[in-house]
A and B are shown apart, each in its own frame.
Chain A
Amino acid sequence: MSKDGLKIVVRGCHNLAPFLNLVKNRGSGLPREIELAPLPCTGKIEPHQVVKFFERGADGALILACPEGACRFVQGNIRAAKRVAYAGQWLKELDIEPERAGFHMFDSEEGHTIEEVINEFHAAVSELGPTDVTGNYAAGGKK
């Protein structure tokens, strides 16, 4: 948990160099409690994985993709955008603000660092406050 009690999950594309650098060498500009992990391509993300973050107590989940037109797998970032949006529809049905499932195509030419993008998302989730899902819920087994 971060200092303000929020749990933020960030997943990003393995081919997005600034994100991969951040995973390997986290600087002080980012709370260590923000959970970072790379994906082989953001097109790999599925709606059930995004909703699962919230089941496990995340207050926000941010997917960081490569810029439009720069996906190594051509459409992985576009696919991810749609899947995160679909997960947001499920969150809405659950009375959880859909904007807690964030998506951003990061382009270093935009003039922002990737830490700034993550911090901005963190601030937006802070405004919303924590969800009322603890993540401690007794889940059933998987067959």
Chain B
Amino acid sequence: MIVGDKKPLAEIRDSLGSARRIIVVGCETCVAECAAGGRKEVALMASALRIAFEKAGEKAEIIESSLDRQCVYQFLPEVGEEVASADAVLSLACGAGVQAMARFYPESIILPGLNTQFIGTTVEAGIWVEDCSGCGDCKLAFFAAVCPITRCSKRLLNGPCGGSSQGKCEVSPDVDCAWQLIYDRLSTLNLLDRLKAFVPANNWSTSHSGRPRTIIREDRQV
């Protein structure tokens, strides 16, 4: 899922400018799972904005809404009326959701309420970790499904750097050494031989570097 966290309220207030009829729109998929942009967080943000405006002595109307997925156009007409009547939309979706809303409602001011962080996993309640860099050249098959591009601080593809200690990365004792994890998993799976194979450099031409990426599937375009 896409993991995000909320922007500081002061930054949000600044971005709202003179807008006084505001619709806060959540997204019930990734950002709801990471407790940043689902219905509950929409309610929290709306309450906070009402308090902030009242404390500033300003009148504003804050409307609460949420969509199943903000990054899919089919879901977006659901908030059409509210968006048309609002001075601004505060989206609690990821950056893709914010931009989808902006494309779908070109006449409306669409603002982000979150800082989109990474593609990650809920490893336990309240803890989300980055697991995928979306590099476009997935090599998880080589590494027993532990991504060194994302989880090794040095992005090493052919073995550890030697700086780890007791399974932790030298960058921070809070970070697992990806190569320790790779070794442990390959060992469990009895596949340690795979470490003898040379893994070619990542094909970064498929990554975000240089241009935004597009996937076209003609069979899905009908």
Let me know if B63 and A46 touch, CB within 8 A. no
Let me know if A93 and B8 touch, CB within 8 A. yes
Task: Tell me if B61 is interfacial: C-beta within 8 Å of chain A.
Answer: yes
Let me know if A55 and B51 touch, CB within 8 A. yes
Would you give the shortest CB distance from B147 to chain A, in whole angstroms?
A: 30
Q: Which residues of A sit under 8 angstroms from B54, Cβ to Cβ? A: 132-134, 137
Let me know if B79 and A94 touch, CB within 8 A. no
> Closest residue to B24 on the A side, CB-wise?
A140
Task: Tell me if B40 is interfacial: C-beta within 8 Å of chain A.
Answer: yes
Would you give the shortest CB distance from B30 to chain A, in whole angstroms?
A: 19
Q: List which A90-137 residues lie within 8 A (CB) of chain B.
A: 90, 93-96, 132-134, 137
29 contacts between A and B (CB under 8 A): A46-B40, A47-B44, A51-B47, A51-B48, A51-B51, A52-B43, A54-B47, A54-B51, A55-B50, A90-B9, A93-B10, A93-B48, A94-B51, A94-B52, A94-B55, A96-B51, A133-B51, A133-B54, A134-B54, A137-B50, A137-B51, A137-B54, A138-B59, A139-B46, A139-B50, A139-B62, A140-B46, A143-B64, A143-B65
Residues of A within 8 A of B (CB): 46-48, 51-52, 54-55, 90, 93-96, 132-134, 137-143
Name 16 extra pairs, CB < 8 A, besides A132-B54, A133-B54: A48-B43, A48-B44, A51-B44, A52-B43, A52-B47, A90-B9, A90-B48, A93-B10, A94-B9, A138-B61, A139-B50, A139-B61, A140-B62, A140-B64, A143-B63, A143-B66
